[in-house]
């Protein structure tokens, strides 16, 4: 079921958005060569406890995963791009890592992701992150009242293909509100003017993710982590966005 939220309810979502945004900002600053993915997950678990928030991941067991997830943060490194299950791995110089984090605060959920390089970055990794960032911005720009879901996907895919990247539509954005994953599905490709009309009060996660030389993915044996089929690296960016008469509000905007 697709939920539409009142202006007061969207305001009530802001603390969740701020908490998720601040947590990701901290991760982007502290992640460094030699840090263990389990350390980063433990850091976020402490932040959740300190804030009186609730993890959306630890008990999450959807049909596409080998749940429950058991951790509070997704950490996808290099050729991993989505749903990376934290494990005993120390980040190396030049690693491209994507953090995906969702949490509930006062009954409201926010969901966001970012990708960074630790140590010395390769130009091709920075280019991939830049494309994914601009695709997210384009998708958010298309999330206006009267547009259609297809307009969001078309805006995202236009940026990706313009930079020479393929687009996979198996996983994409989704509705957000009282739960982490709700309707509607927001694919990262689409035809302009097609799909559900965007209405005030709709709150969605928009999340482009691209791989350097393929659009095919495979599962790790852990049943969660999704990697590129050819070993090329991936990047993932995501924001929770409220659609309003005055334009899109990025609830997980980072300072």
CA distance 35 to 33: 6
Eight-class DSSP state of 152? H
Q: With contact defined as beta carbons under 8 Å apart, do 188 and 236 qualify?
A: no
Does 207 show up as a binding residue in the annotation?
yes
Does 236 show up as a binding residue in the annotation?
no
Does 239 show up as a binding residue in the annotation?
no
Strands (E), 145-233: 173-175, 182-186, 203-206, 209-211, 217-219, 226-228
Tokens of 233: 């690296």
Does 189 show up as a binding residue in the annotation?
no
Does 87 show up as a binding residue in the annotation?
no
CA distance 134 to 140: 10
Tokens of 38: 């389990």
Q: Residue ranges for the binding site for a divalent metal cation?
A: 100, 111, 174, 207, 238
Q: Residue ranges for the binding site for substrate?
A: 83, 181
Q: Residue ranges for the binding site?
A: 83, 100, 111, 174, 181, 207, 238
């Amino acid at each position: 079921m697709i939920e539409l939220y009142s202006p007061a309810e969207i305001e009530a979502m802001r603390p969740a958005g701020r908490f998720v945004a601040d947590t990701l900002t901290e991760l982007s600053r502290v992640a460094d060569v030699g840090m263990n993915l389990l350390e980063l997950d433990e850091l976020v678990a402490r932040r959740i406890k300190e804030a009186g928030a609730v993890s959306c991941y630890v008990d999450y067991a959807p049909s596409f995963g080998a749940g429950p997830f058991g951790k509070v943060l997704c950490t996808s490194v290099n050729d991993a791009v989505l749903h990376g299950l934290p494990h005993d791995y120390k980040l190396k110089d030049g690693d491209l890592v994507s953090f995906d984090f969702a949490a509930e605060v006062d009954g409201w959920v926010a969901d966001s992701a970012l990708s960074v390089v630790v140590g010395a970055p390769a130009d091709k990794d920075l280019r991939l992150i830049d494309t994914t960032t601009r695709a997210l911005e384009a998708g958010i720009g298309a999330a206006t009242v009267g547009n259609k879901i297809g307009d969001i996907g078309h805006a995202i895919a236009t940026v990706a293909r313009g930079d020479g990247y393929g687009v996979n539509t198996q996983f994409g954005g989704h509705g957000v509100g009282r739960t982490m994953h709700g309707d509607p599905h927001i694919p990262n490709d689409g035809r302009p003017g097609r799909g559900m009309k965007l209405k005030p009060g709709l709150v969605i996660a928009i999340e482009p993710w691209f791989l350097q030389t393929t659009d095919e993915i495979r599962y790790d044996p852990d049943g969660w982590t999704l990697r590129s089929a050819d070993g090329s690296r991936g990047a993932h960016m995501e924001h929770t966005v409220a659609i309003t008469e005055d334009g899109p509000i990025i609830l997980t905007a980072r300072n």
